[in-house]
Amino acid sequence: MALRDTMVTRAQPFLQPGERVQAVFGGQKITQWWVLLSAFIVLFANRYRTVVVTDRRILVLDGTRMSQTKVTGVLAEVPRTVQIGPPSGLWWKCESLGRPIYVHKRFHKDVVAADTQRPQTPGYPPMPPGPPPVAPPSY
């Protein structure tokens, strides 16, 4: 089973009846750049987070220290109209969901997919367009 499928399966107990998952992505409590100072900081201070974007709301689920797919409870519930991204860099710091969550580059496409499915509500700006495609160099 793929990582995102496992995240959705483990998040099912926290969803309301009839709620549809639109996107799911993982993150962490602290940035991995701490490993440059000491691996023990990352090992003991870090906790994984799972963000589940549904058609009704955005859930931030608390995880364990060792597994990105195990969830232990709900940390935050955010309205679906909140824009999550746009993500950038290797470890993007997401601050729009209440607490800072560091999201790795492999999940950036999931953040963009969640934002493009966001309902447009008056007072909220639309998602800005991504950067233009870069043409490969010609030699």
Domain of 66 in residue numbering reads as 3-116
In a domain, 13, yes or no: yes
Q: Per the structure, how many domains does the chain have? A: 1
Question: pTM score, two decimals?
Answer: 0.79
User: 115-121 long-range contacts, Cβ below 8 Å, gap at least 24?
Assistant: 115/83, 115/84, 115/85, 115/86, 117/22, 117/23, 117/53, 118/80, 118/81, 118/82, 118/83, 119/80, 119/81, 121/81
In a domain, 60, yes or no: yes
In a domain, 139, yes or no: no
- The predicted-structure confidence for 42-96, as pLDDT tens digits, reads as follows 666 788 999 999 999 999 999 988 888 889 999 999 999 999 989 998 889 999 9
